[in-house]
Each structure stands twice: as C-alpha cells, then as structure tokens.
A and B are shown apart, each in its own frame.
Chain A
Amino acid sequence: MSATSTQVGELARRSLVRTLRQPASIIPSLLFPLVFLALNSGGLGSATRIPDFPTDSYLAFFIAAPFVQAALFATMGAGTDVAKDVQTGFVSRLALTPTRGNALLFGQLAGVLAVSLFSSLTFLVVGLVAGVTFESGLPGMVVIMVLATLIGIALSSIGVMLGMRSGSGEAVQGMFPLFFVFLFLSSLTMPRPLIEQDWFRTIATYNPVSYLLEAIRSLVITGWDGRALALGFGIAIALVAVSVFGASRAVRMRWTRT
C-alpha cells in the first residue's frame, strides 16, 4: 500500500469516526429533509390536479428533494469540520508531517460519502414505505444513490474549500442561505413547464440544481429518461471536477501558508 493511500485511509477513518461520534451532524441532514418532504408533499398534494402535471402523487414528485437537501447539510458539515481543524491547529500540525494535502481532502470526503449513502438509503426506504413507486425499479434506485453520492461529494468539496479558505465555521455556516437560494429557485416544487412566472422559469432553467432534481425525479416518475439522466450526471460530474479542484487548491494554499 502506498504512503498516500495509507494517509487517505487514516484520515478517512478519522473523518468517519468523528461523523459517527457526533449524531448532531447526521440527524439534521436526515430529519430536516424528511420533515420538509412530509410538509410539502402534504401541503401541495392537490398540485397534481394542475393540467399536465407529470404524476398523480406529489410525494413521488417531491421525493427527489431530500437527496439534494441532505447534500446541502453535508456541505455545511464538511466545511465546519475542516474549519475546526484549521482553528484548532490540526491542519498546521498535519502540514508539518509528510502527509500530502490531498490526503486530508479525500479523507474528509470519505466521511461525507458514508453519511450520504446512509441518507440516500433512508430516503429510498421512507419513499417505499410511504407508497412511492420507483418506475425505474431497483436498478433506478441504485442509480439514484450513485447520483446523490456524486452531488454529496461535489457540494462537500465546496464546503471543504470554504472551510480551508476561511478557517471559520461561522463563515461556512453563513454560506448556507446561498445554497438554500439555489435549491428554492429551481424546479423543486413544480415542473419547469408548469411554472407560470416567466422570470422564475428562466432562473430555474439556468439553475443547475433543477437538472439534478429532474434526473432523480425522472427515475422515480418516468423510468429511464436518457436526456434527464445525461444532464443530471453531466452537471454532477462537472460539479465534482470543479469543486474537488477548488478544494484541492484551497488545501494546497493552506499547506503552503502553514
């Protein structure tokens, strides 16, 4: 085993143990999306009566939301953890060892990956128990988990980047409203063709979050929609590439500064 993989393994173990030891970092990312799912699918149930609404179950329509919301919470968790590592001097001490900066990044992301997989599985089970029919079947559910994990990695890398650059948990938390805006100004609550306000539909069309939601949604209510999946996976992979690159640069900068 190479030195780098040993470093990544050790830091991944640390990240995972730290995540598991703090239920407060897992519970909100599970609980809030589920509460939000229950309230919205109940409150907007009659929206399926709008002509051309793609399904007769608003729960099936809205089940895509928790996957993206959980990723938002993971972002905050990863960013805050890294900021704490900077604040407590852990990063400085680590930089004095032969450890490579990217080992910290990938190690940190391993913890996020575990939470992301656990959350996705929970949402799928809740959906099934609540009566959602996944049109793409079991393979579709696996694809949803893969996509949700990619979204989790992408957004968490942004969290790591923010935590590394600012070194302040408050600054990372302060970005939450911005992510929240991206989520709400998308096709979260209504299919884009049914959004009547032109300005809102335009924003939702340019907002990449719409396509992430629509890719997951397509697997639930349509089956296998190549276009929606290509757009969703394309955007998720591009986000992973850009955000991991940005996080890697931020880690390197912090290493050099140290």
Chain B
Amino acid sequence: MRRFLDVTGAVAWRTIHHFLTQPSILVPSLLFPLFFFTAFSGALSGVEAIPGFDFPSGYAAFQFAFVMLQASAFGGVFAGFSIAADFESGFTRRLMLASPDRRGILAGYAVAALFRAVVVWVMLIVVALLVGMQIDGGALDLVGLYTLAALVNVTGLLFSAGVATRLRTMQAGPAMQMPVFLLLFLAPVYMPLELLEGWIHTAARLNPMTPLLELSRDFISGQPADLWAYAVVLTMFAVLALWALTGLRRAERAGG
C-alpha cells in the first residue's frame, strides 16, 4: 500500500506542478468553464419564458449544474492529455521502470485531475455567487453535488487514460475529447428533458449523462433528489476503471 501511495503522490505532485506552472494549461482550464457559464446563462435566460420551463432556481443555476459537470468531465479528460504527452516524451517508460506499483501512476493522474477540478469549482462558485446565482439546496445537497462532480471527474480521467494508454500519442486528443463532448451535449443542456423534441429527446433519454445532470440540478435547487444517478456514475466508474487498467497492462506489454 505504501508503495502505491508513494507512486500516487509523486505522479500527482508532478502533474499538479505542471498544471500550476504552465499558463497555457492553467488559464484556459479556468476561463473556459467560466466563459461557458456566462455565455449560456447570459444569452439564453429567455428560455425561462418557455411554457413548461419550471426550474425554480433560475436559468443561471440551471446552467451552473451543466457547467460544473462539463468542467469536471473535461478536467479528467485533459489529465488524460498529460498521460499521452508523457508517453510521447518517453517519461512514462522511465516512470514504469521505476514504479513498484504501476496502478499508482493512474491514481496519481486521478488525484491531479481532481485537484484541477477543485480549482475550477472554487472559481466557478465564487463567480456564480457574485453574479447573484440562486442556490436553494442545503449543505447536504451541495455535498451531494460536489461528490457527483468528483465522480464525473475521475470517470472522465479513467476514460481518457484508457485511450491514452492504448494509443500513447498526443494525436489521440480528439479520441479522448470528442466522445465526452458528444455525451455532454446530447444531454438536456439548454432546457429540461421534457422540453426537448425529436431525435435529441430520444438521445437525451438514453444518454447516461442525463440522470447525472438532472440530479445535479435537483441538488442546486433543493428539490427531492433521485439518487439512482449515483448508481449510473458508479457503474461508469467501474467499467472505465477496468478500461484504464487494461490499457495500462497493454502499455506495460508494449514497453511503455
């Protein structure tokens, strides 16, 4: 266990240090979620006038829930980019030779992804409160919201780690980003599921991100939460952990 934690700590520290000292990585990570929040909630607040839109905490809170999950998922995906870059530079090959427990490498990247997400969450909530966003959920709801976001973050990391360990090149960027992007935007992003029409309603109904998004909105607005969404995210977590670990084994066999 100690060996696992040593590797985890070392990889996490290195990745976090890299994140904090590279403005080209740090600044977009902070600005993009903030930008999406202001652009969506600012431009589309008129959606509240649509008959049937009955989210009690206002459109800013409605969008906040989406941007939280989006920032969390992409925080995980972007950590996957670091894994791919480390493979490309040959760092991972040396790291694998030096690590007594290689699962610690994945865990280290996961800790760094979570750190990255926490930085974005803090900035996002501060800005949201400054612009007067209404939060009707209690403390327990917020704990539920951030726990859900943390699970989404690590799930995103496990997905992109599975891709990065299999392809081991930065060219794999779109293969990590695009499926997550589509999954997120095929959920009820701009309006509730009941107001979606046509093919997108069907896609959103089948999309595993939809219950997660609806649960996070329930938490923000303090409405009774349908906790089965946790079962969805935990299943995704388990499947993608297997995906990432088998990817790691493949990378080991390929010699890093």
- A interface, CB within 8 angstroms of B: 35, 39-40, 42-47, 49-51, 174, 177, 181, 184-185, 187-190, 194-197, 199-200, 204
Specify the chain B residue showing the minimal Cβ separation from A49.
B50
20 contacts between A and B (CB under 8 A): A39-B186, A42-B197, A43-B190, A43-B200, A44-B44, A46-B197, A47-B44, A47-B47, A177-B28, A184-B35, A185-B43, A188-B43, A190-B43, A195-B43, A195-B46, A196-B45, A196-B46, A196-B48, A200-B42, A200-B45
Specify the chain B residue showing the minimal Cβ separation from A45.
B197
Given contacts A46-B52, A47-B50, 5 further A-B contacts (CB under 8 A): A51-B49, A187-B43, A190-B43, A195-B42, A195-B45
Chain B residues with CB under 8 A of A50:
46-47, 49-50
Chain A residues with CB under 8 A of B198:
42, 45
Known: A195-B45, A197-B45. A43 touches B191 (CB 8 A): yes
- B interface, CB within 8 angstroms of A: 24, 28, 31-32, 35, 38-39, 41-52, 182, 185-186, 188-191, 195-200, 203
Specify the chain B residue showing the minimal Cβ separation from A184.
B39
Specify the chain B residue showing the minimal Cβ separation from A48.
B50
Q: Are A44 and B191 in contact (CB under 8 A)?
A: yes
Q: Are A44 and B190 in contact (CB under 8 A)?
A: yes
Q: Are A177 and B43 in contact (CB under 8 A)?
A: no
Query: A193–B77 Cα gap in the complex (Å)?
Result: 37
Specify the chain B residue showing the minimal Cβ separation from A186.
B43
Known: A39-B186, A43-B190, A46-B195. A197 touches B50 (CB 8 A): no
Chain B residues with CB under 8 A of A49:
50-51
Query: A197–B40 Cα gap in the complex (Å)?
Result: 11
Of B35, B43, B50, B185, which one neighbours A200 at CB under 8 angstroms?
B43
Query: A177–B42 Cα gap in the complex (Å)?
Result: 18
Query: A177–B48 Cα gap in the complex (Å)?
Result: 28
Query: A142–B50 Cα gap in the complex (Å)?
Result: 35
Query: A35–B195 Cα gap in the complex (Å)?
Result: 21
Q: Are B199 and A42 in contact (CB under 8 A)?
A: yes
The dominant DSSP class at the A interface is: helix
Q: Are A42 and B200 in contact (CB under 8 A)?
A: yes
Chain B residues with CB under 8 A of A43:
185, 188-191, 196, 200
Chain B residues with CB under 8 A of A199:
42
Query: A47–B53 Cα gap in the complex (Å)?
Result: 11
Query: A187–B46 Cα gap in the complex (Å)?
Result: 13
CB distance from A167 to the nearest CB of B (A): 17
Q: Are A45 and B196 in contact (CB under 8 A)?
A: yes
Specify the chain A residue showing the minimal Cβ separation from B42.
A200
Chain A residues with CB under 8 A of B43:
184-185, 187-190, 195, 197, 200, 204
Query: A205–B226 Cα gap in the complex (Å)?
Result: 41
Query: A44–B197 Cα gap in the complex (Å)?
Result: 9
Query: A45–B50 Cα gap in the complex (Å)?
Result: 11
CB distance from B252 to the nearest CB of A (A): 31
CB distance from B182 to the nearest CB of A (A): 8
Chain B residues with CB under 8 A of A40:
190
Chain A residues with CB under 8 A of B52:
46
Q: Are A194 and B200 in contact (CB under 8 A)?
A: no
Specify the chain A residue showing the minimal Cβ separation from B28.
A177
CB distance from B233 to the nearest CB of A (A): 22
Query: A181–B43 Cα gap in the complex (Å)?
Result: 13
CB distance from B203 to the nearest CB of A (A): 8
CB distance from A198 to the nearest CB of B (A): 10
Specify the chain A residue showing the minimal Cβ separation from B60.
A197
Specify the chain B residue showing the minimal Cβ separation from A36.
B185
CB distance from A138 to the nearest CB of B (A): 28
Chain A residues with CB under 8 A of B203:
42
Query: A252–B44 Cα gap in the complex (Å)?
Result: 44
Q: Which of B44, B189, B198 has the most CB of A within 10 A?
A: B44
